[in-house]
Protein backbone atom coordinates (compact mmCIF):
# COMPACT_ATOMS: atom_id res chain seq x y z
CA UNK A 1 0.00 0.00 0.00
CA UNK A 2 1.17 3.54 -0.74
CA UNK A 3 2.74 5.30 2.23
CA UNK A 4 1.00 8.66 2.23
CA UNK A 5 3.45 10.04 4.76
CA UNK A 6 5.71 10.74 1.75
CA UNK A 7 4.75 13.85 -0.23
CA UNK A 8 6.76 14.38 -3.42
CA UNK A 9 7.31 18.03 -4.37
CA UNK A 10 6.45 18.63 -8.02
CA UNK A 11 8.68 21.70 -8.42
CA UNK A 12 8.51 21.75 -12.22
CA UNK A 13 6.61 24.00 -14.59
CA UNK A 14 5.16 21.96 -17.43
CA UNK A 15 2.56 19.24 -17.69
CA UNK A 16 5.06 17.08 -19.62
CA UNK A 17 7.41 17.06 -16.63
CA UNK A 18 4.49 16.29 -14.30
CA UNK A 19 3.31 13.39 -16.49
CA UNK A 20 6.85 12.01 -16.69
CA UNK A 21 7.50 12.07 -12.95
CA UNK A 22 4.04 10.84 -11.89
CA UNK A 23 4.14 8.01 -14.46
CA UNK A 24 7.70 7.09 -13.46
CA UNK A 25 6.87 6.95 -9.76
CA UNK A 26 3.61 5.06 -10.41
CA UNK A 27 1.90 3.47 -7.41
CA UNK A 28 4.86 4.05 -5.07
CA UNK A 29 3.79 7.66 -4.49
CA UNK A 30 0.23 8.67 -3.59
CA UNK A 31 0.69 12.26 -2.36
CA UNK A 32 2.11 15.20 -4.35
CA UNK A 33 2.90 18.78 -3.47
CA UNK A 34 2.06 21.46 -6.02
CA UNK A 35 3.91 24.67 -5.23
CA UNK A 36 4.03 28.15 -6.67
CA UNK A 37 6.15 27.35 -9.73
CA UNK A 38 3.80 24.66 -11.03
CA UNK A 39 0.51 26.22 -9.95
CA UNK A 40 1.40 29.61 -11.44
CA UNK A 41 2.40 27.85 -14.68
CA UNK A 42 -0.36 25.30 -15.06
CA UNK A 43 -3.18 26.34 -12.70
CA UNK A 44 -5.98 23.91 -12.00
CA UNK A 45 -5.04 21.63 -14.92
CA UNK A 46 -2.38 20.00 -12.77
CA UNK A 47 -4.71 19.55 -9.79
CA UNK A 48 -7.32 17.92 -12.02
CA UNK A 49 -4.68 15.59 -13.53
CA UNK A 50 -3.45 14.45 -10.10
CA UNK A 51 -6.97 13.99 -8.70
CA UNK A 52 -7.98 11.99 -11.80
CA UNK A 53 -4.98 9.75 -11.12
CA UNK A 54 -6.30 9.19 -7.58
CA UNK A 55 -3.45 11.12 -5.95
CA UNK A 56 -3.67 13.33 -2.87
CA UNK A 57 -2.60 16.93 -3.37
CA UNK A 58 -0.93 19.42 -1.02
CA UNK A 59 -1.31 22.88 -2.57
CA UNK A 60 1.71 24.74 -1.18
CA UNK A 61 1.09 28.40 -1.95
CA UNK A 62 2.06 29.66 1.54
CA UNK A 63 -0.50 32.45 1.63
CA UNK A 64 0.62 35.52 3.58
CA UNK A 65 -1.56 38.62 3.46
CA UNK A 66 -4.26 40.39 5.44
CA UNK A 67 -7.02 38.15 6.87
CA UNK A 68 -9.70 39.15 4.37
CA UNK A 69 -7.49 38.59 1.33
CA UNK A 70 -6.25 35.20 2.53
CA UNK A 71 -9.75 34.04 3.50
CA UNK A 72 -11.21 34.99 0.12
CA UNK A 73 -8.31 33.40 -1.78
CA UNK A 74 -8.80 30.20 0.21
CA UNK A 75 -12.50 30.17 -0.63
CA UNK A 76 -11.53 30.12 -4.32
CA UNK A 77 -8.85 27.44 -3.79
CA UNK A 78 -11.23 25.21 -1.80
CA UNK A 79 -13.11 24.61 -5.08
CA UNK A 80 -10.08 22.70 -6.41
CA UNK A 81 -10.75 19.82 -4.00
CA UNK A 82 -7.17 19.53 -2.73
CA UNK A 83 -6.31 17.61 0.44
CA UNK A 84 -3.96 20.06 2.15
CA UNK A 85 -3.25 23.75 1.82
CA UNK A 86 -1.10 26.25 3.74
CA UNK A 87 -0.55 29.78 4.99
CA UNK A 88 2.38 31.47 6.78
CA UNK A 89 1.85 31.51 10.56
CA UNK A 90 3.49 34.95 10.65
CA UNK A 91 0.33 36.25 8.91
CA UNK A 92 -1.08 36.34 12.46
CA UNK A 93 -3.74 34.71 14.61
CA UNK A 94 -6.68 36.55 13.05
CA UNK A 95 -5.51 35.62 9.58
CA UNK A 96 -5.18 31.94 10.51
CA UNK A 97 -8.61 31.87 12.20
CA UNK A 98 -10.28 33.55 9.22
CA UNK A 99 -8.47 31.19 6.86
CA UNK A 100 -9.83 28.14 8.67
CA UNK A 101 -13.32 29.60 8.88
CA UNK A 102 -13.27 30.30 5.12
CA UNK A 103 -12.29 26.80 4.02
CA UNK A 104 -14.71 25.17 6.47
CA UNK A 105 -17.57 27.32 5.25
CA UNK A 106 -16.76 26.95 1.56
CA UNK A 107 -16.27 23.18 1.77
CA UNK A 108 -19.57 22.83 3.59
CA UNK A 109 -21.35 24.84 0.87
CA UNK A 110 -19.76 22.60 -1.78
CA UNK A 111 -20.52 19.44 0.18
CA UNK A 112 -16.87 18.31 0.05
CA UNK A 113 -14.36 17.39 2.73
CA UNK A 114 -12.34 20.49 3.63
CA UNK A 115 -8.61 20.48 2.94
CA UNK A 116 -6.34 20.21 5.98
CA UNK A 117 -4.96 23.63 6.80
CA UNK A 118 -1.35 23.84 7.96
CA UNK A 119 0.88 26.85 8.61
CA UNK A 120 4.57 27.41 7.95
CA UNK A 121 6.39 28.24 11.22
CA UNK A 122 9.85 29.19 9.94
CA UNK A 123 11.09 28.17 6.49
CA UNK A 124 13.46 25.20 6.67
CA UNK A 125 15.82 27.04 4.29
CA UNK A 126 16.57 29.75 6.88
CA UNK A 127 19.94 29.13 8.47
CA UNK A 128 20.90 30.20 11.98
CA UNK A 129 23.12 32.89 10.45
CA UNK A 130 20.26 34.20 8.32
CA UNK A 131 17.90 34.08 11.30
CA UNK A 132 20.22 35.97 13.65
CA UNK A 133 20.63 38.75 11.09
CA UNK A 134 16.85 39.24 11.04
CA UNK A 135 16.08 38.58 14.73
CA UNK A 136 19.34 39.00 16.67
CA UNK A 137 17.80 38.44 20.10
CA UNK A 138 15.48 35.58 19.35
CA UNK A 139 16.19 31.85 19.56
CA UNK A 140 15.09 30.13 16.36
CA UNK A 141 14.04 26.84 18.01
CA UNK A 142 12.04 28.56 20.76
CA UNK A 143 10.33 30.75 18.21
CA UNK A 144 9.42 27.81 15.97
CA UNK A 145 7.73 26.06 18.92
CA UNK A 146 6.02 29.26 19.99
CA UNK A 147 4.64 29.70 16.45
CA UNK A 148 3.46 26.08 16.39
CA UNK A 149 1.51 26.61 19.62
CA UNK A 150 -0.17 29.66 18.11
CA UNK A 151 -1.07 27.66 15.00
CA UNK A 152 -2.69 25.05 17.24
CA UNK A 153 -4.50 27.72 19.25
CA UNK A 154 -5.92 29.14 16.00
CA UNK A 155 -7.44 25.69 15.38
CA UNK A 156 -5.36 24.69 12.35
CA UNK A 157 -4.50 21.04 11.67
CA UNK A 158 -0.75 21.40 11.94
CA UNK A 159 2.47 23.03 10.83
CA UNK A 160 5.08 22.94 8.12
CA UNK A 161 8.43 23.10 9.88
CA UNK A 162 12.00 21.94 9.73
CA UNK A 163 12.43 18.31 10.83
CA UNK A 164 14.91 19.63 13.39
CA UNK A 165 12.05 21.26 15.28
CA UNK A 166 9.64 18.33 14.97
CA UNK A 167 10.47 16.79 18.33
CA UNK A 168 9.92 19.90 20.42
CA UNK A 169 6.80 20.81 18.45
CA UNK A 170 5.41 17.30 19.01
CA UNK A 171 6.07 17.61 22.76
CA UNK A 172 4.47 21.06 22.91
CA UNK A 173 1.44 20.37 20.72
CA UNK A 174 0.57 16.75 21.57
CA UNK A 175 -0.28 13.82 19.34
CA UNK A 176 -3.21 15.06 17.29
CA UNK A 177 -1.29 17.63 15.24
CA UNK A 178 0.20 17.37 11.75
CA UNK A 179 3.90 18.11 11.37
CA UNK A 180 4.83 18.35 7.71
CA UNK A 181 8.58 18.57 7.21
CA UNK A 182 10.45 19.61 4.07
CA UNK A 183 14.23 19.78 4.33
CA UNK A 184 14.53 15.99 4.36
CA UNK A 185 17.67 14.52 2.84
CA UNK A 186 18.64 10.83 2.75
CA UNK A 187 22.25 10.38 3.87
CA UNK A 188 24.69 11.06 1.03
CA UNK A 189 22.40 13.26 -1.12
CA UNK A 190 22.88 16.95 -1.95
CA UNK A 191 21.65 19.52 0.59
CA UNK A 192 20.90 22.16 -2.13
CA UNK A 193 19.56 25.39 -0.56
CA UNK A 194 18.07 23.70 2.52
CA UNK A 195 19.66 24.32 5.92
CA UNK A 196 17.91 22.72 8.89
CA UNK A 197 17.69 19.20 7.53
CA UNK A 198 17.60 15.56 8.74
CA UNK A 199 17.24 12.11 7.20
CA UNK A 200 13.74 10.63 6.59
CA UNK A 201 14.02 8.18 9.51
CA UNK A 202 15.13 10.87 11.96
CA UNK A 203 12.34 13.21 10.81
CA UNK A 204 9.70 10.53 11.40
CA UNK A 205 11.07 9.37 14.73
CA UNK A 206 11.16 13.03 15.84
CA UNK A 207 7.41 13.23 15.31
CA UNK A 208 6.90 14.32 11.68
CA UNK A 209 3.66 13.01 10.17
CA UNK A 210 4.53 13.86 6.55
CA UNK A 211 7.85 14.27 4.72
CA UNK A 212 8.09 16.57 1.72
CA UNK A 213 10.85 15.48 -0.61
CA UNK A 214 11.67 17.17 -3.90
CA UNK A 215 15.12 17.21 -5.44
CA UNK A 216 16.46 13.98 -3.86
CA UNK A 217 13.78 12.14 -5.89
CA UNK A 218 13.28 14.42 -8.90
CA UNK A 219 16.98 14.91 -9.65
CA UNK A 220 18.00 11.31 -9.01
CA UNK A 221 19.25 9.25 -11.96
CA UNK A 222 16.49 6.79 -11.13
CA UNK A 223 13.65 8.68 -9.36
CA UNK A 224 11.57 5.55 -8.68
CA UNK A 225 14.53 3.85 -7.07
CA UNK A 226 15.25 6.99 -4.97
CA UNK A 227 11.60 7.14 -3.83
CA UNK A 228 11.58 3.45 -2.96
CA UNK A 229 14.76 3.80 -0.91
CA UNK A 230 13.19 6.65 1.06
CA UNK A 231 9.99 4.61 1.52
CA UNK A 232 12.05 1.67 2.75
CA UNK A 233 13.78 3.90 5.27
CA UNK A 234 10.39 5.31 6.33
CA UNK A 235 8.97 1.80 6.68
CA UNK A 236 11.44 1.12 9.44
CA UNK A 237 9.77 3.80 11.57
CA UNK A 238 6.16 3.14 12.60
CA UNK A 239 3.61 5.99 12.33
O1 LIG B 1 13.81 19.87 -3.29
P2 LIG B 1 13.48 19.93 -1.85
O3 LIG B 1 13.35 18.55 -1.21
O4 LIG B 1 14.37 20.85 -1.06
O5 LIG B 1 11.99 20.55 -1.81
C6 LIG B 1 11.37 20.98 -0.65
C7 LIG B 1 10.04 21.56 -0.99
O8 LIG B 1 9.40 21.95 0.21
C9 LIG B 1 10.09 22.78 -1.89
O10 LIG B 1 8.97 22.66 -2.77
C11 LIG B 1 9.87 23.97 -0.96
O12 LIG B 1 9.13 25.00 -1.56
C13 LIG B 1 9.07 23.34 0.16
N14 LIG B 1 9.17 23.97 1.47
C15 LIG B 1 10.37 24.13 2.15
N16 LIG B 1 10.40 24.71 3.39
C17 LIG B 1 9.27 25.10 3.98
C18 LIG B 1 8.05 24.91 3.30
C19 LIG B 1 8.05 24.31 2.06
O20 LIG B 1 11.41 23.75 1.65
N21 LIG B 1 9.29 25.59 5.20
User: What is the ipTM score, two decimals?
Assistant: 0.90
Residues 171 and 53: their CA atoms lie apart, in Å, by: 36
Above pLDDT 90, what percent of the chain? Answer: 87
For residue 196, pLDDT over 80 is answered with no
Superfamily of domain 6-234: Aldolase class I (3.20.20.70)
**From the candidates 65, 105, 141, 224, which is the catalytic residue?**
65
pLDDT digits (tens, 9 = 90+) for 142-184: 999 999 999 999 999 999 999 889 999 999 999 999 999 998 8
C-beta of residue 157 within 8 angstroms of C-beta of residue 209: no
> Over the Cα atoms of the chain, what is R_g?
17
Residues 48 and 18: their CA atoms lie apart, in Å, by: 12
Catalytic, 44? Answer no
11 marked ligand binding residue: yes
pTM > 0.80: yes
**21: CA distance to ligand 1 center in Å?**
17
**Residues 6 or more apart whose Cβ sits within 8 Å of residue 129:** none
**182: CA distance to ligand 1 center in Å?**
5
Q: Pick the residue with more confidence: 235 or 96?
A: 96
C-beta of residue 162 within 8 angstroms of C-beta of residue 184: no
| Cα four-point dihedral sign 110, 57, 31, 225 | positive
Residues 235 and 230: their CA atoms lie apart, in Å, by: 9
Above pLDDT 70, what percent of the chain? Answer: 99
**Residues 6 or more apart whose Cβ sits within 8 Å of residue 130:** 195
Ligand 1 — pocket residues by CB below 6 A?
9, 11, 35, 60, 120, 123-125, 160, 182-183, 192, 194, 212-215
**From the candidates 48, 51, 56, 62, which is the catalytic residue?**
62
**From the candidates 55, 60, 116, 157, which is the catalytic residue?**
60
CA 74 to centroid of chain Cα atoms? 16
pLDDT of residue 239: 63
Amino acid sequence: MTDERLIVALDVHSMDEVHNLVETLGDSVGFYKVGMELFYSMGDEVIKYLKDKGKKVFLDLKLHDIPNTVANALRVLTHLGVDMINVHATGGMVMMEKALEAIKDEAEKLGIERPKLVAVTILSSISLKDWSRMWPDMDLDDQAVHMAKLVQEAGLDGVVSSPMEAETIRQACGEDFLIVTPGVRPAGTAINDQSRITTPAIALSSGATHLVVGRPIRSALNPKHAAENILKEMGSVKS
